[in-house]
């Protein structure tokens, strides 16, 4: 068990004194603190000096990483070992963006020719859509609307990245994402679209996911109502999946299927064919630049020693707060409107990976695992929930993500944005003492309310501009951070059995909701009553 490790116990001991440290003192005592606790890789600066750590904290955390064999785990992942043991699969999202094209083997077979082959097919298809030569069924009209139908990892990655890289996108194309099984999502998205100008990308690793298949069936009906010929489907639907059989059962031409593999986890699949709508939006060259960024961070992760390794450092800081200073959540605060969906994307990446309660031997874990991850872009969050981070009782370590240059140089907006970015981490770290408030002539009765305790930790992540490669490197940074934390917590980060029970129960409830005759209900009294009420009020036709 992790807490039995002497390195763990040493950290717990060390935390007792570290709890007393204040960032004000740490910075006063060491004028070179920022320099000492900053790292750079793949175009990103990480300044982690505004954390409640000392050199000793970091050394002890790295000792824990060694005791948990983080270096060995990194090697095993890159070597294609079946580290996803509960699903008996390798974990090789790094192969998808292996731009140096060195062989990466699964069961002795180099996967790079297949990876490169799919990327080439995607690029050829994306070019056809972008240059207007992919036209609607029996029409000369080019496809202008691309609607991705997918959910979870088959939605959040491309949806987040299409927004993040919108600056680079072809504005003649409208790329949209429908995920929710709520018919409103599809209906509102299709409103006003011309079927003959619309291409659906059905994105599902398994091609069985209820939400995606329901949306795909409804989209097909919508298309055929207008085009009135089943043959139109092959012109207006393409698929991204690992399940060739189910794709052709749906009626999609296998020629129009873009494949990926079971060694790509859903939430790690953006660089696979799941990125197709993104590639159509921003073009293959920009997509490849994004892969370059991913690859640069992958190389750094695989090669840099622990003390210079950005993903490892972020992971260890997270472990420090989660396990030794009892933080329950972690905020991610991008100061860039294009990154509005980044926190939602990270929620799946982090919480589906490390939201686990048993260790690799199947025993209940003896330490806290994945934190609750949340966030919103700055400066919006400042006018909403920052109050709690500054003065509330919860410790919320936060990552501030920003860029030196804006892609939209509008007046002095960027200077104002970034002045807030800087000021917030300063205010969080150093606060304002009661004496300082009093010296500002704050009425005595208001002094406690206008005092800021400070000592609230943050990381600053800064790149020059939000380019495709900067985005790729940023995503890879978080992917590897999550991986390292999973190793330290001794959980399996690449399965997600926790989502299964609800799916199974929903099937049963669906039968009950849609049954003609009043069904025999055998749930608890609450669930029975809700089902009855839904039947009574939602389905008058069933009476």
Other CB atoms within a 10 A radius of the CB of residue 251 amount to 14
335 versus 494: smaller Cβ distance to ligand F6P: 494
CA distance 298 to 290: 12
Catalytic annotation present for 518: no
158 versus 293: smaller Cβ distance to ligand F6P: 158
Other CB atoms within a 10 A radius of the CB of residue 53 amount to 23
CA distance 74 to 487: 9
CB of 460 to ligand F6P, least distance (A): 30
Closest CA to 190 of 172, 215, 159: 215
CB of 259 to ligand F6P, least distance (A): 13
503 versus 508: smaller Cβ distance to ligand F6P: 503
* Helices within 228-341 (DSSP H only): 233-236, 244-250, 276-282, 284-303, 310-319
CB of 151 to ligand F6P, least distance (A): 5
Kind of pairing, strands 38-41 and 174-178?
Answer: unpaired
Q: Which residue out of 211, 352, 376, 512 is catalytically annotated? A: 352
CB of 157 to ligand F6P, least distance (A): 9
Kind of pairing, strands 237-241 and 198-203?
Answer: parallel
Element (H, E) at 149: strand 145-149
Q: Tell me phi and psi for residue 509, to 5 degrees.
A: -65, -35
CB of 324 to ligand F6P, least distance (A): 30
Other CB atoms within a 10 A radius of the CB of residue 208 amount to 11
154 versus 455: smaller Cβ distance to ligand F6P: 154
265 versus 457: smaller Cβ distance to ligand F6P: 265
- C-alpha 225: how far from its chain's center? 36
212 versus 369: smaller Cβ distance to ligand F6P: 212
The residue of the chain with the least Cβ separation from ligand F6P equals 266
Q: CA dist 402 to 3, 460, 465, Å? A: 36, 8, 8
Of how many residues is the chain composed?
A: 543
Q: CA dist 128 to 118, 121, 123, 273, Å? A: 15, 11, 9, 16
Catalytic annotation present for 383: yes
133 versus 210: smaller Cβ distance to ligand F6P: 210
Kind of pairing, strands 372-374 and 38-41?
Answer: unpaired
Q: Which residues contribute to the site for ligand F6P (CB under 6 A)?
A: 151-154, 204-206, 209, 212, 266-267, 352, 496, 499
CB of 253 to ligand F6P, least distance (A): 20
Catalytic annotation present for 352: yes
Q: Which residue out of 308, 413, 416, 503 is catalytically annotated? A: 503
> Using the 8-state DSSP alphabet, how is residue 141 labeled?
P
User: In this structure, are residues 386 and 320 in contact, taking their beta carbons and an 8 Å threshold?
Assistant: no
Q: Which residue out of 383, 441, 445, 543 is catalytically annotated? A: 383
CB of 462 to ligand F6P, least distance (A): 30
Please identify every residue annotated as catalytic. 352, 383, 503
């Amino acid at each position: 068990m992790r807490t039995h490790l002497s390195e763990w116990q040493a950290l717990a001991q060390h935390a007792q004194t570290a709890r007393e440290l204040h960032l004000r003192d740490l910075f006063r005592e060491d004028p070179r603190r920022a320099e000492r606790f900053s790292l750079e890789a793949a175009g990103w600066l990480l300044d982690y000096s505004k954390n409640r750590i000392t050199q000793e904290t970091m050394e002890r955390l790295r000792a824990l990483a060694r005791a948990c064999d983080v270096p060995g785990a990194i090697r095993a992942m890159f070597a294609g070992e079946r580290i996803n043991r509960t699903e008996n699969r390798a974990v090789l999202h790094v192969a998808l963006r292996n731009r140096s094209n060195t062989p990466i083997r699964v069961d002795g077979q180099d996967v790079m020719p297949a990876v490169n082959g799919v990327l080439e097919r995607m690029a050829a298809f994306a070019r056809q859509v972008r240059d207007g030569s992919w036209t609607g069924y029996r029409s000369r009209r080019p496809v202008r609307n691309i609607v991705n139908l997918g959910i979870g990892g088959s939605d959040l990655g491309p949806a987040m990245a299409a927004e993040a890289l919108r600056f680079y996108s072809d504005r003649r194309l409208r790329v949209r994402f429908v995920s929710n099984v709520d018919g409103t999502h599809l209906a509102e998205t299709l409103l006003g679209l011309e079927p003959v100008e619309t291409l659906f990308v059905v994105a599902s690793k398994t091609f069985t996911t209820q939400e995606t298949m329901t949306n795909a069936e409804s989209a097909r009906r919508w298309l055929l109502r207008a085009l009135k010929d089943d043959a139109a489907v092959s012109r207006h639907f393409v698929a991204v999946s690992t399940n060739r059989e189910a794709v052709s059962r749906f009626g999609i031409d296998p020629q129009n299927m873009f494949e990926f593999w079971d060694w790509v986890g859903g939430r790690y699949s953006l660089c696979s064919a799941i990125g197709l709508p993104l590639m159509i939006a921003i073009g293959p060259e920009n997509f490849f630049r994004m892969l370059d960024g991913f690859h640069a961070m992958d190389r750094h992760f695989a090669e840099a020693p622990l003390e210079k390794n950005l993903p490892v450092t972020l992971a260890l800081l997270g472990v420090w707060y989660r396990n030794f200073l009892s933080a329950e959540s972690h905020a991610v605060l991008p100061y860039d409107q294009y990154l509005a969906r980044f926190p939602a994307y990270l929620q799946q990446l982090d919480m589906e990976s490390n939201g686990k309660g048993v260790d690799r031997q199947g025993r209940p874990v003896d330490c806290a695992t994945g934190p609750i991850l949340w966030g919103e872009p700055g400066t919006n969050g400042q006018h909403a929930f920052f109050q709690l981070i500054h003065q509330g009782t919860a410790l919320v370590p936060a990552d501030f993500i920003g860029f030196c240059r804006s892609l939209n140089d509008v007046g002095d907006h960027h200077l104002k944005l970034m002045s807030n970015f800087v000021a917030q981490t300063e205010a969080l770290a150093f606060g304002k003492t009661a004496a300082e408030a009093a010296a500002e002539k704050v009425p005595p009765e208001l002094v406690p309310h206008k005092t800021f305790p400070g000592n609230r930790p943050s990381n600053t992540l800064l790149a020059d501009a939000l380019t495709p490669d900067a985005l790729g490197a940023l995503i890879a940074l978080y992917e590897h951070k999550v991986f390292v934390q999973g190793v330290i917590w001794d959980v399996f980060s690449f399965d997600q059995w926790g989502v299964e029970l609800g799916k199974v129960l929903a099937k049963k409830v669906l039968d009950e909701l849609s049954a003609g005759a009043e069904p025999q209900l055998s749930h608890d009294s609450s669930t029975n009553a809700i089902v009855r009420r839904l039947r009574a009020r939602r389905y008058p036709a069933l009476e």
